[in-house]
């Protein structure tokens, strides 16, 4: 049977208070699935691709339509099963069970290779769901912006002993759906960013969305703008249309030293995520069609050049880190034996947050009204006033972040805070302070929901980096807790064979039943993160667990 993989349809999420489904939980799933494919949100909605190379919301357009049809007729005592972007059954359950359960890209470990997976994908048997693409809770660049902000704020504290990046500059590359957050994250912290991307469309989009300040015509102009802004301690982000494999070695040759250096191309997927030297995006597409092995060889050569330049900058004093796109692994496979001398950002900057149950937590206004998000912002500034870092972010986001698709917000919230937040939002819906219910979710990149030895679980204290029981336990616990939908994925962020991770969404519709589900889910989900790190021996996690509502055995 022929599959429709491309369409000129324009998908946007419904707004307002009228339901097209039998209840708000089902309506939330429909709206968030549609929002993932909004042209303001998705990288390539015509092909159902949301972000991260080829991360999709549904396997094909027939599957998308079947999911929508199923959600519209799904009862409050039924659960829809979605197998790698395709609906495969509606089963009797109960009102506190999830309305949707999703599994994406899971393969028996022996078969979990790029070659096997993408062959199966081409045959229509599976789908790469990335992280929040295939679990229907992507919110555009803001989703990674806040995590990038947290990472760089931690970097400033760890590396420079400061609370911001004023008077310092960062060299990086990639302005796609993930990397596009980098320039704004740097300027929100008062720093200067030079961001390289070979794709003129990516630069134009970031300028239009106000994530990037200016575009330089060439490297000379870019460096001059950087020097002037650093000297003035003035925040600035500069985009440069060029190839990182050309620019990074040239910066080394000129003896220019950035304070921070990284890369946020989609290097986890070399077929489409990293363009080799001497090629435009269109030329790269032609080259991979004509000779994929030869094309991949050119990609690896270019990536190795960039990696060696990063290592040289590190030796000269730049703070270098891998931002979770599997860049180091690809560089090592391309012959850069010391690629892992580049620090991973989680063990160096984020692990202390994960250990106390803190991670990227998000919510979307199903009404489509931006004022619903602003009302929640104001609630946070009052309810969580003692959390100065959280309130700083909420103020900055309110001033600087443009919504894409459904209005949404993201922040780092920890164990205890998420539960308190969820109850408060549900009360706001009940009391009519918000126009419509709120969908509350999180990134899969979180405290207890992922096993990813090249990113989230790199260098665990007890050596448990590759133990994947934890994300499965996370998903099972969230099902038992009554999350509205739960997902388990393979490969997101770092590529096939490199990670297992789980996600959830719970809907605050103002009812007492929703409040009970929120209480269980938003307590247990970050609580498992604390338990996971306590099991690995982190003292701060053990201390929290001693006074937590959940109990550790023994």
pLDDT per residue over 284-338, tens digit each? 999 999 999 999 999 999 999 999 999 999 999 999 999 988 899 999 999 999 9
Q: Is 364 helix (H, G, I), strand (E, B) or coil?
A: strand
Integer Cα distance of 509 and 438 in angstroms: 7
Tokens read off for 141: 């660049």
Tokens read off for 496: 């096939």
pTM summary value: 0.90
Mean pLDDT over 60-83 rounds to 98
pLDDT in tens, 266-296: 888 888 889 999 999 999 999 999 999 999 9
Phi, psi (5° rounding) for residue 173?
-145, 155
DSSP characters over 46-109: GGTEEETTTEESSSSHHHHHHHHHHHHH--TTEEEEEETTEEEEEEE--TTS-SEEEEES---G
Nearest Cα to Cα of residue 88 among 142, 126, 47, 32: 126
Domain with CATH 3.40.1770.10 in the chain: 355-488+498-546
Nearest Cα to Cα of residue 64 among 108, 11, 104: 11
Nearest Cα to Cα of residue 124 among 94, 161, 84: 84
CB 309 within 8 A of CB 252: yes
Which of 57, 70, 155, 411 is flagged as catalytic? 411
Number of alpha carbons in the 13 Å side-chain half-sphere of residue 451? 18
Say whether 411 is catalytic: yes
pLDDT at 540 over 80: yes
Please tell me the predicted confidence (pLDDT) of residue 1.
58
Rounded to the nearest 5 percent, the helix, strand and coil shares of the chain are 45, 15, 40
Mean pLDDT over 362-391 rounds to 97
Please tell me the predicted confidence (pLDDT) of residue 141.
83
pLDDT in tens, 122-160: 999 999 999 999 999 999 888 888 889 999 999 999 999
Mean pLDDT over 250-277 rounds to 94
CB 356 within 8 A of CB 541: yes
Integer Cα distance of 225 and 231 in angstroms: 10
DSSP characters over 417-456: HHHHHHHHHHHHHHTTSSSS-EEEEE-SSSSSSEE-TTTT
pLDDT at 183 over 70: yes
CB 214 within 8 A of CB 238: yes
Nearest Cα to Cα of residue 71 among 80, 81, 58: 80
pLDDT in tens, 463-522: 999 999 999 999 999 999 999 999 999 999 888 999 999 999 999 999 999 999 999 999
Architecture of domain 355-488+498-546: 3-Layer(aba) Sandwich (3.40)
DSSP summary character for residue 509: -
Mean pLDDT of the chain: 96
Fold of 164-341: Rossmann fold (3.40.50)
CB 133 within 8 A of CB 493: no
pLDDT in tens, 12-42: 999 999 999 999 999 999 999 999 999 999 9
pLDDT in tens, 428-456: 999 999 999 999 999 999 999 999 999 99
**In whole angstroms, how far apart are CA 308 and each of 250, 253, 260, 315?**
12, 12, 15, 11
Domain with CATH 3.40.50.10730 in the chain: 164-341
Calculate what percentage of the chain has a pLDDT beyond 70: 100
Nearest Cα to Cα of residue 35 among 133, 104, 117: 133
């Amino acid at each position: 049977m022929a599959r429709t993989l491309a369409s000129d349809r324009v998908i946007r999420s419904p707004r307002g208070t009228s339901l097209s489904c039998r209840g708000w939980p089902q309506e939330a799933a429909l709206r968030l699935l549609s929002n993932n494919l909004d042209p303001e949100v998705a990288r390539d909605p015509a092909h159902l691709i949301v972000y991260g190379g080829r991360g999709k919301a549904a396997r094909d357009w027939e599957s998308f339509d079947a999911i929508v049809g199923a959600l519209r007729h799904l009862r409050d005592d039924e659960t829809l099963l979605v197998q790698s972007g395709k609906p495969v059954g509606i089963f009797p359950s109960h009102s506190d069970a999830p309305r949707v359960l999703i599994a994406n890209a899971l393969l028996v470990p022996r078969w979990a290779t790029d070659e096997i997976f993408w062959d199966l994908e081409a045959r229509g048997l599976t789908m790469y769901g990335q992280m929040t693409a295939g679990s229907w809770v992507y919110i555009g660049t803001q989703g990674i912006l806040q995590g990038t902000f947290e990472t760089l704020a931690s970097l400033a504290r760890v590396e420079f002993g400061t609370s911001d990046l004023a008077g310092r500059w960062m060299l990086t590359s990639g302005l796609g759906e993930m990397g596009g957050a980098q320039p704004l994250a740097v300027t929100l912290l008062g720093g200067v960013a030079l961001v390289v991307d070979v794709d003129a469309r990516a630069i134009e989009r970031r300028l239009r969305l106000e994530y990037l300040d200016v575009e330089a015509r060439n490297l000379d102009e870019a460096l001059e703008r950087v020097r002037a802004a650093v000297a003035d301690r003035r925040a600035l982000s500069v985009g440069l249309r060029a190839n990182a494999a050309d620019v990074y070695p040239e910066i080394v040759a000129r003896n220019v030293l950035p304070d921070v250096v990284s890369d946020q191309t989609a290097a986890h997927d070399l077929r489409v995520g990293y363009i080799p030297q001497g090629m435009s995006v269109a030329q790269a597409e032609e080259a991979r069609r004509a000779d994929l092995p030869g094309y991949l060889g050119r990609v690896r050569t270019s990536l190795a050049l960039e990696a060696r330049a990063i290592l040289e900058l590190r030796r000269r004093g730049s703070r270098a880190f891998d931002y979770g796109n599997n860049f180091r692994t690809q560089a090592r496979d391309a012959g850069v034996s010391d690629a892992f001398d580049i620090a991973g950002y989680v063990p160096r900057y984020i692990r202390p947050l994960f250990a106390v149950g803190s991670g990227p937590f998000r919510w979307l206004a199903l009404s489509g009204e931006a004022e619903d998000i602003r009302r929640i912002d104001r609630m946070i500034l009052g309810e969580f006033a003692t959390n100065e870092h959280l309130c700083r972010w909420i103020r900055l986001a309110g001033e600087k972040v443009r919504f894409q698709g459904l209005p949404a917000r993201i922040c780092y919230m920890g164990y205890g805070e998420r539960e308190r937040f969820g109850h408060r939002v549900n009360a706001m819906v009940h009391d009519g302070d918000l126009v419509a219910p709120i969908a509350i979710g999180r990134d899969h990149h979180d405290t207890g929901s992922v096993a990813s030895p090249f990113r989230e679980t790199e260098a665990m204290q007890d050596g448990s980096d590759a133990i994947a029981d934890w994300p499965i336990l996370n998903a099972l616990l969230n099902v038992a807790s009554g999350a509205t939908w739960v997902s388990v994925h393979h490969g997101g962020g770092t590529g096939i064979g490199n990670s297992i991770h789980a996600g959830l969404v719970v809907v605050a519709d103002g009812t007492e039943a929703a409040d009970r589900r929120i209480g269980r889910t938003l307590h247990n989900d970050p609580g498992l993160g604390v338990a996971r790190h306590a099991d690995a021996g982190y003292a701060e996690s053990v201390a929290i667990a001693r006074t937590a509502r959940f109990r550790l055995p023994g």
